[in-house]
């Protein structure tokens, strides 16, 4: 189990320089809106996933007036071993990632070394926005748990770009497309099987946590939608070849997969209240946490960003009992209400650390 002991952040978003040492149990960050709480959480996420948790360009991550940022963390890796992970990103697009001062041959090799789950207000896009956000969620989870899955997605996307380039040409070569379709099928079938397997395992666990949060007031589930339900990708693309040539892009495949979130038999997007959506999204991330914990054999790090907002008192109490009653690893919690945060966490454990931020500067309380 990876425990973040010390974090150094330089020129990341609104954080000029921060050097912080954390509790191995619960860490609480309070401060007003826009002061840097979420940016600190995102820095922790970045060290695990080598990218921001939010839809942004690298340029957005540079503090105003700078042309680079750096992050480093010292982690307790278990068995009395510790490792220092560092990453530096420059405005030219250069990204250098090291473990104990040794560069990674490929950045993708780092994914899964520091398992992490984040609950954020931005998660609402998983319900309200396009399928791209839900596929991004699937890829983010499965890439941490399965390096072969990550490789399959990368290889499929590379071939997809090549196929789309052929389709955009003035006279697409049908025989070339047929060869590419066969190669894409290998990766597409494995991506479909792994996503289907994961969602089948995820849905009942989401329902369990939602029942705990809501007190059994509603029933929820997740349905998986994929073009590959109809058959092999080669057959599907063969039937759509004329259409794809006219469109200039590939109109079927895993890049169109989606999840449909249901509540009492109806799409949650249409009928869920703000509180219900927040409860579902927290349940989704806690289910992700449970499956990752089972897969890794150790609990991942849990980042709870502004998680108490839009939850009534009963759902907040239920959420706290979930955190207190399970074998969770290291937890980071942010809240704009310092008094509320202290009242919540002090009721769970005495092993905690409090931090406060103002304008990107942090101090331990």
State the average pLDDT over residues 246-268.
Answer: 95
State the average pLDDT over residues 1-9.
Answer: 94
Say what the pLDDT of residue 348 is. Answer: 77
| Residue 294 banded pLDDT, cuts 50, 70, 90 | very high
* Lowest-confidence pick of 151-160, 285-294, 323-332: 323-332
Question: In sequence order, what are the residues at sequence separation of 6 or more whose Cβ sits closer than 8 angstroms to the Cβ of residue 170?
Answer: none
Say what the pLDDT of residue 326 is. Answer: 59
Asked: is 1-115+304-365 a CATH 3.40.50.300 domain? The reply is: yes
| Residue 78 banded pLDDT, cuts 50, 70, 90 | confident
Question: In sequence order, what are the residues at sequence separation of 6 or more whose Cβ sits closer than 8 angstroms to the Cβ of residue 162?
Answer: 180
Side-chain-side CA neighbours of 265 within 13 Å: the count stands at 0
Share of the chain above pLDDT 70, in %: 95
Say what the pLDDT of residue 324 is. Answer: 63
Span 197-238, pLDDT tens digits: 999 999 999 999 999 888 777 899 999 999 999 999 999 999
| Residue 325 banded pLDDT, cuts 50, 70, 90 | low
CA distance 289 to 297: 11
* Lowest-confidence pick of 43-47, 76-80, 250-254, 286-290: 76-80
Instruction: Tell me: pLDDT of 343 over 90.
Output: no
3-state DSSP assignment of residue 55:
coil
Span 153-178, pLDDT tens digits: 999 999 999 999 999 998 999 999 99
Share of the chain above pLDDT 90, in %: 75
Burial 16-37 (b: 16+ CB within 10 A, else e): eebebebbebbbbbbbeeebbb
Whole-angstrom CA distances from 15 to 172, 272, 336, 361 are 50, 36, 17, 7
């Amino acid at each position: 189990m990876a425990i973040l002991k010390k974090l150094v952040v330089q020129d990341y978003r609104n954080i000029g320089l921060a050097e912080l040492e954390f509790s191995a149990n619960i860490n609480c960050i309070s401060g007003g809106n826009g002061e840097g709480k979420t940016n600190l959480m995102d820095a922790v996420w970045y060290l695990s996933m080598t990218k921001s948790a939010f839809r942004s360009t690298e340029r957005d991550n540079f503090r105003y007036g700078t042309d680079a940022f750096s992050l480093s963390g010292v982690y307790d890796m278990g068995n009395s071993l510790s490792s220092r992970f560092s990453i530096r990103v420059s405005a030219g697009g250069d990204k250098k990632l090291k473990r104990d001062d040794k560069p990674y041959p490929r950045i993708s090799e780092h994914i899964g070394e520091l398992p992490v789950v984040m609950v954020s207000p931005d998660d609402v896009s998983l319900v309200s926005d396009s399928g791209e956000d839900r596929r991004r969620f699937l890829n983010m989870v499965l890439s941490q748990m399965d390096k072969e899955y990550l490789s399959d997605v990368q290889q499929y996307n590379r071939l997809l770009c090549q196929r789309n380039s052929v389709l955009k040409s003035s006279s697409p070569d049908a025989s070339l497309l047929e060869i590419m379709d066969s190669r894409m099928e290998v990766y597409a079938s494995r991506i479909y099987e792994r996503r289907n397997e994961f969602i089948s395992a995820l849905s009942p666990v989401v329902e369990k946590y939602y029942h705990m949060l809501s007190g059994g007031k509603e029933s929820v589930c997740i349905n998986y939608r994929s073009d590959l339900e109809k058959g092999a990708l080669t057959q599907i693309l063969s039937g759509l070849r004329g259409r794809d040539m006219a469109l200039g892009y590939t109109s079927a495949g895993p890049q169109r997969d989606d999840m449909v979130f249901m509540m009492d038999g109806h799409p949650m997007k249409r009928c869920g209240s703000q509180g219900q959506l927040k409860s579902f999204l927290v349940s989704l991330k806690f289910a992700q946490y449970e499956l990752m914990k089972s897969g890794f054999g150790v609990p991942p790090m849990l980042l709870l960003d502004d998680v108490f907002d839009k939850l009534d008192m009963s759902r907040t109490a239920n959420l706290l009992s979930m955190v207190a009653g399970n074998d969770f690893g290291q937890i980071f919690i942010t809240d704009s209400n310092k008094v509320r945060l202290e009242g919540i966490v002090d009721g769970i454990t005495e092993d905690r650390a409090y931090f406060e931020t103002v304008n990107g500067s942090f101090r331990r309380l």
